[in-house]
Amino acid sequence: MVDVSTWSLVVVAVLGVLAVALGVAVFVVDSMARATFALLGSFLAVAGILLVFDLVYLAVVTALMMTIEMAVMAVFMIMFMMNPAGLMPMSMVHNQRGSAGVGVVTFVVLVIGIWTVDWPPRTGALPEDSTRQLGEAIMGSHMLVMLVIGIALFGTILAGTVLATARGRYDRFGPDLSAARPSDPVEGGMGR
């Protein structure tokens, strides 16, 4: 029978490969919408790794933050892009050689650092409630304020989504779009 630590290593390895693959997909796919959801999947895989390490608070925060951030990005793509919802093919990378070089150098430096740094041994005992201790360390006496701000931000996201989907881009001009609609550079200034 396989013990728990072996299963944990397998899950971490699978989620790690998935996170890296989806991270690479961000630069391979040909639309902003697909890149957005690939990035979301990569961060959710990282949140899964944090869960395996029993870092529940950080896993939940990572998952919630990335999900909300990608949802907001998708809403703005739908609202403001000439490219409908970011689904039309377009180049997602710029300065490919330079960015690849920076990525490789950064990866090598981080790997060398991970394997050569003399990490200190753990001292002390684990707290009873590590989530509470982390929250107090980060927020201190401002915890209530941050909770209220979080609720306000969530309400803002919901309101933005409702406003973005309640009407189309040119609905404010009425039913006859061809008469009042501004010229669209993609269509060469011609109405529909």
State pLDDT tens for residues 137-192: 777 777 778 778 888 888 888 887 777 665 555 555 555 555 555 555 555 444 44
Confidence of residue 107 (pLDDT cuts 50, 70, 90): very high
Q: Which of 80-84, 106-110, 111-115, 174-178 has the lowest mean pLDDT?
A: 174-178
- What pLDDT, in 10s, does the model give residues 23-48? 999 888 877 778 888 999 999 999 99
Token pair for residue 97? 């050689």
Query: Judging by beta carbons within 10 Å of its beta carbon (0-12, 13-18, 19+), is residue 35 exposed, middle or buried?
Result: buried
* Mean pLDDT value of segment 48-62: 88
Contact between residue 69 and residue 53 where contact means Cβ atoms under 8 Å apart: no
The yes-or-no verdict on residue 100 having pLDDT over 80 is yes
Residue with tokens 């929250």: 135
